[in-house]
């Protein structure tokens, strides 16, 4: 197993990630230029059209030239959405959602979609875009939709930031070779294929794994459920059940944690009773914790495939929030252990694009076209 862990507790934060108290979205102007991604995209297009000689269309390791993608992974409740927006703001990027439930319209509180006001103006793709009545999106379908979104983002000279907790979707989108009949999350799959084939990637990826120690995450998730209830989750579910009365159920959105748990309260024999209500909330907490454990195990399986993940320990930030300390202290812990190290990693990742650009652009085509 290979996990790349950032161990520098004294790492200085990039100026772009210092959070002024007056800025609601928290980020100052970007220091990582988007130009390398733009030139990379144009070079990729020229390679595909056969304009460039073959030896200009390979990476330094001999692989075919690929788009650069930042992938933010982690179990539910670890802060993936927050980090993806922070990075996209810094990088002039756009976010591609990879949560298999959040792709559908509706149940925004229950599915814990990031509110529009917290997205800091960052465009989001595949977040609440699909009609749940149209059927359930599978990993193969997500692979195609994510590819179109990534190509569009790169085509605008921006950095694609894929973020979400559905690792089957992330694997489908990022794998170099994908067979919907096989899954790396089934027993014995890795023994039936070579590690090189299993770990091959479709894009040039920077994988960031936001992780939280199990005990702290469990407490964080329980508190989040309580916050969702206070924000109107039960009322939202009540409207959902009322609107869906007599209609065929939605195979995708119905899998959201909260729907089946509140079935008894809204439709069953315990309809409207306090006992059914309390049982539903307890079940939601338990099932959310179980989901987080499953997601963490799947990430470890992707590491076993050879995916180079940088683990970012968000535990100090979560503990600071749970302890009720000042918000500034929790934010400082987040910046020290998550935002700062991730920004450094992404900057180094994109620096590879800069170096490749500097090595090759004067051999390829006059610069005005590269910066369209």
In which residue are the tokens 């210092």 written? 18
- Assign 317 a pLDDT band (cuts: 50, 70, 90): very high
Q: How confident is the model over 260-282, as a mean pLDDT?
A: 95
Q: Where are the beta strands (DSSP E) in the chain?
A: 4-5, 68-74, 93-97, 124-125, 159-163, 204-211, 309-313
In terms of Cα–Cα distance, which of 209, 199, 167, 189 is closest to 294? 167
- What is the C-alpha radius of gyration for the chain, rounded to an integer number of angstroms? 22
Q: 130 - beta bridge partners?
A: 104
Give the highest mean pLDDT range of 183-187, 206-210, 349-353. Answer: 206-210
Cβ atoms of 309 and 209 within 8 Å: the answer is yes
Alpha-carbon span 363 to 43, nearest angstrom: 12
Output the average pLDDT for the chain: 81
Average pLDDT over residues 18-30: 40
For each of the domains in the chain, give its residue range(s) and CATH number, in order of start.
Answer: 31-222+286-363 (3.40.50.300)
Give the tens place of pLDDT for each residue, 127-152.
Answer: 999 999 999 999 999 999 999 999 99
Q: How confident is the model at residue 21 (pLDDT cuts 50, 70, 90)?
A: very low
Find, among 341, 238, 323, 229, the residue nearest to 285 by Cα: 229
Cβ neighbours of 53 (radius 10 Å): 10
What is the spatial distance between Cα 369 and Cα 359, in angstroms, rounded to a whole number?
17
* Residue 16: how many other CB atoms lie within 10 Å: 18
User: Which of 30-34, 39-43, 163-167 is least confident?
Assistant: 30-34
């Amino acid at each position: 197993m290979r996990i790349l862990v950032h161990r520098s507790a004294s790492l200085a934060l990039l100026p772009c990630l210092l959070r002024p108290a007056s800025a609601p979205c928290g980020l100052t102007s970007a220091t990582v230029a988007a130009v390398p991604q733009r030139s990379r995209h144009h070079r990729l297009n020229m390679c595909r059209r056969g304009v460039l000689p073959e030896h200009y269309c390979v990476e330094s390791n001999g692989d075919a030239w690929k788009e650069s993608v930042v992938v933010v992974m982690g179990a539910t409740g670890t802060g993936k959405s927050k980090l993806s927006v922070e990075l996209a703001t810094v990088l002039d990027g756009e976010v591609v959602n990879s949560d298999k439930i959040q792709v559908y319209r509706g149940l925004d509180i229950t599915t814990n979609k990031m509110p529009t006001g917290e997205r800091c103006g960052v465009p989001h793709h595949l977040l609440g875009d699909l009609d749940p009545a149209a059927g359930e999106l599978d990993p193969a379908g997500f692979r195609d939709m994510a590819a179109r979104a990534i190509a569009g983002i790169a085509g605008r000279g921006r950095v694609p930031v894929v973020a979400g907790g559905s690792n089957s979707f992330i694997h489908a989108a990022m794998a170099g070779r994908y067979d919907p009949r096989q899954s790396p999350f089934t027993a014995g799959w890795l023994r039936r294929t070579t590690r090189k084939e299993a770990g091959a990637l479709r894009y040039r990826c920077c994988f960031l794994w936001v992780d939280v120690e199990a005990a702290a995450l469990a407490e964080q998730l329980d508190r989040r459920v309580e916050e969702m209830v206070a924000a109107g989750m039960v009322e939202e579910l009540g409207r959902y059940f009322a609107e869906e009365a007599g209609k065929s159920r939605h195979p995708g959105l119905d899998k959201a944690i909260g729907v089946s748990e509140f079935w008894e309260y809204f439709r069953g024999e315990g309809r409207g009773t306090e006992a059914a209500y309390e049982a539903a909330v307890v079940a939601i907490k338990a099932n959310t914790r179980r989901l987080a454990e499953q997601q963490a195990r799947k990430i470890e399986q992707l590491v076993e495939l050879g995916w180079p993940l940088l683990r970012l320990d968000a535990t100090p930030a979560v503990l600071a929030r749970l302890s009720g300390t000042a918000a500034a202290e929790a934010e400082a812990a987040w910046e020290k252990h998550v935002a700062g190290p991730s920004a450094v990693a992404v900057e180094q990742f994109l620096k590879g694009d800069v170096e490749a650009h500097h090595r090759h652009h004067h051999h390829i085509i006059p610069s005005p076209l590269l910066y369209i």
